[in-house]
Structure 1
Amino acid sequence: MGRFHRHDDTTHTHADGTVHEHADGMAHDHGDHSGYDTGAQRVEILEAIFTENDVRADLNRNAFDAAGVPAVNLMSSPGSGKTSILSATLDALRPSLRIGVIEGDIATDLDAARLEDKGAQVSLINTANGFGGECHLDAPMVNRALQGLDLSTLDLVFIENVGNLVCPAEFDVGEHARVMVYSVTEGEDKPLKYPLMFSRVHVVLLNKIDLLPHLDVELQSFLDTIAQTNPRAHVIPVSARTGEGLEQWYSWIDTAMIRAG
């Protein structure tokens, strides 16, 4: 059985450039909520946030590298089946791999508890705050969550990001690979509507393909729109419910670990 650690982090920069105070005690500008500040101050705040994030991301990556542990940033919109795929992955790989999970969620420990039952070490980050919850994990959050994992005893770490198709793609968290879970029920146009997310991932797990016979769309439509945004992405059609395609996903993980090592 794994160990379950909880962290409460509230690091976040809103689209208007406002930043809120965090558990790390850093002073952050709350801005003027009456409108959008498009001047130099907003640019400086954003540059400072991303600079700090990149510094922490390098620290995270160095920690993973020192331990010889590849880290995979798993992203998706809510309801895509990300946790279901991760659960199945833990079941399939735990006989041969020791896996840690950094679990990002706005509130509750439901997903973390579900994964801990799979024998993984789990470190939870709840991003909820007085403004309703943060839309992504960033490198400082992951840096603090690493305190809940014993990297020396692990072979692989999954970072399950907050369900969102925009914000998570903007933040390097120190991962070695980015993987997106994309459900066929979301429609084939999402790569065109959310190009940043799709353009930055190495793998797209096209989930819920067992539902395609019930939808007015063909698999090729999804493959075509993904290719328009990111022709280099490795697309793996899967079904977390039936297990179809998951062996190919597990094979990719083996290959990624070899590359990282």
Structure 2
Amino acid sequence: MCREVELRQAVLAKNDGAAEALRAGLTARGTAVVNLLSSPGSGKTALLEQELTLARKRGVPVAALTADLATENDATRLARSGVPVKQILTDGLCHLEAHMLGRHLDDWLPPDTRLLFVENVGNLVCPASYDLGESLRVVLASVTEGEDKPLKYPTAFGLAQLVVITKTDLAKAVEFDEAAFRANVLRVNPGVRILRTSSRSAEGTGLLLDHALAIAGGTRPHTPVMSRQPRAAHVHDDAPLQAEGAQDPAADAPAASPSPPHPHSHPHPAPATTAGPR
């Protein structure tokens, strides 16, 4: 057990170092990174395509990098926005890591990019543990996923700096209890802002872009306040986290790092491909 814990710490320490270096370099050039996390099928790509298109119309220099285990479908869709887009094929890896992101930005990211949106692999477990050097971490959930999603995936929602509800046009049809969802989000992440969006009805279009631009302009992002009970090492461990002040013995423990332990052993990702404007 001790060796497993040491391995977890070593893996994440290496990633955190790479993330800090990447964040410092991008900040120095005026680029803010927005890390988007969600389950598969949440509507993340559809929403991002709308935000990228709006950014181009407004004259905001943005770019997007999207990661998937296979296919270039998402890059093809995002490239319709007319902004620079790059696809990373992870070849089985369930998340991105800071060194991977940095490597794929070399000689690709336009120098005047104000915002870089990173569409992480569709997964609410693995990606939650890895800092990518982002300025803003966003977790998305569709109304079709249920009100208890934040409680099932407390690490992802608990470390979010912004939460986005998607597919709100379907809320009535699926009897989505938004009040319960919001209460569950705030239970694991007190004070975090929650946005409502629908790619079909255009509700909330531009809210994500506006929030990201505010962060890029110097507005301080929400700081998640969490404490975490000691956990045994496990490849897909996602033990419940407690918000500070919750009725739990660990409530007075120090706040958790933005990158909780969760190492994996996976094959090296395949080379990325670039999709140009359509």
Q: Same fold (TM over 0.5)?
A: yes
For residue 166 of structure 1, the aligned residue among 111, 125, 137 is 125
Answering whether residue 3 of structure 2 is matched by residue 41 of structure 1, we say yes
Secondary structure, aligned partner of 2:111: helix
SS, match of residue 94 in structure 1: helix
Counterparts of 1:125 and 1:190 in 2: how far apart (Å)? 27
Task: Provide the TM-score with structure 1 as the length reference.
Answer: 0.79
Taking the aligned partners of 2:31 and 2:204, their CA distance within structure 1 comes to: 25
SS at the partner of 1:239? coil
Q: State how far apart, in whole Å, the 1-side matches of 2:219 and 2:105 are.
A: 19
Cα pair 2:36 2:139 within 8 Å, conserved: yes
Partner of 1:66: 28
How far residue 148 of structure 1 moved from its aligned partner, in angstroms, is 4.7
How far, CA to CA, are the matches of 2:38 and 2:216 in structure 1?
22
2:230 is aligned to: none
8 Å Cα contact 2:34/2:137 also seen in 1: yes
* Percent identical residues: 38
Residue 196 of structure 1 corresponds to 155
8 A contact 1:123–1:146 mirrored in 2: no
1:237 corresponds to which residue? 196
- What does residue range 14-53 of structure 1 map to in structure 2 within 5 Å? 39-53=1-15
The change in CA–CA distance for 1:148 and 1:242 in structure 2 (over 3 A counts) is farther
1:68-105 superposed Cα distances (whole Å, 9 cap, x missing partner)? 11111011000000101100001111122111112111
Shift of 1:151: 4.2
Q: Secondary structure at the match of 2:118?
A: strand
Question: Which residue of structure 2 lines up, in the alignment, with residue 5 of structure 1?
Answer: none
Q: Which amino acid aligns with 1:73?
A: N
Query: Structure 2 CA distance, aligned partners of 1:119 and 1:140?
Result: 27
Cα shift readout 1:103-125 (whole Å, capped 9, x = no counterpart): 11111111112212322222221
* Cα distance in 2 between the residues matched to 1:68 and 1:113: 27
Q: What is the rounded CA distance, in whole Å, between the counterparts of 1:230 and 1:260 in structure 2?
A: 19
**Gaps in structure 1 of 5+ consecutive residues:** 1-38
The aligned runs of 1:74-153 (5 Å cut-off) are: 74-95=36-57, 96-128=59-91, 133-153=92-112
Residue 249 of structure 1 is matched in structure 2 by 208
Counterparts of 2:155 and 2:139, CA distance in 1: 12
| Contact residue 238 and residue 244 of structure 1 kept, 8 A | yes
Aligned to 2:172: 213
Per mean C-alpha deviation after superposition, the further-off stretch among 212-221 and 163-172 is 212-221
Aligned mates of 1:151, 1:178 — CA distance in 2: 22
CA apart distance, 1:135: 1.3
Q: Which residue of 1 aligns with 2:261?
A: none
Counterpart code for 1:231: P
| Paired residue type of 2:62 | I
Equivalents in 1 of 2:165, 2:87: separation in Å? 26
Cα deviations by residue, 1:166-199 (Å, 9 ceiling, x for unpaired): 1111001100110111101000001011101001
Equivalent position SS for 1:52: helix
Cα deviation, 1:206-239, whole Å, max 9, x if unaligned, reads 0011111112333212211111111221100111
Q: Matched residues in 2 for 1:257 and 1:212: separation? A: 32
Partner residue, 1:187: 146
- C-alpha offsets along residues 28-87 of structure 1, whole Å, 9 cap, x if unaligned? xxxxxxxxxxx3332332222112111111121122112111111011000000101100
C-alpha separation between the residues in 2 aligned to 1:108 and 1:126?
7
What letter is aligned with 2:12?
A: F
> TM-score, normalised on structure 2?
0.75
Structure 2 gaps of 5+ residues are 221-278
User: Is the 2:162–2:192 contact (alpha carbons within 8 Å) kept by the matching residues of 1?
Assistant: yes
Q: Deviations over 1:143-174 (max 9, x none)?
A: 11111533413111011100001111100110
- Paired residue total: 219
Partner of 1:14: none
Write 1 or 2 for the structure with the bigger share of helix: 1
Are 2:67 and 2:119, in contact at CA under 8 Å, matched by a contact in 1? Answer: yes
CA distance in 1, matches of 2:78, 2:144: 24
> Could you tell me which amino acid in structure 1 is paired with residue 56 of structure 2?
R
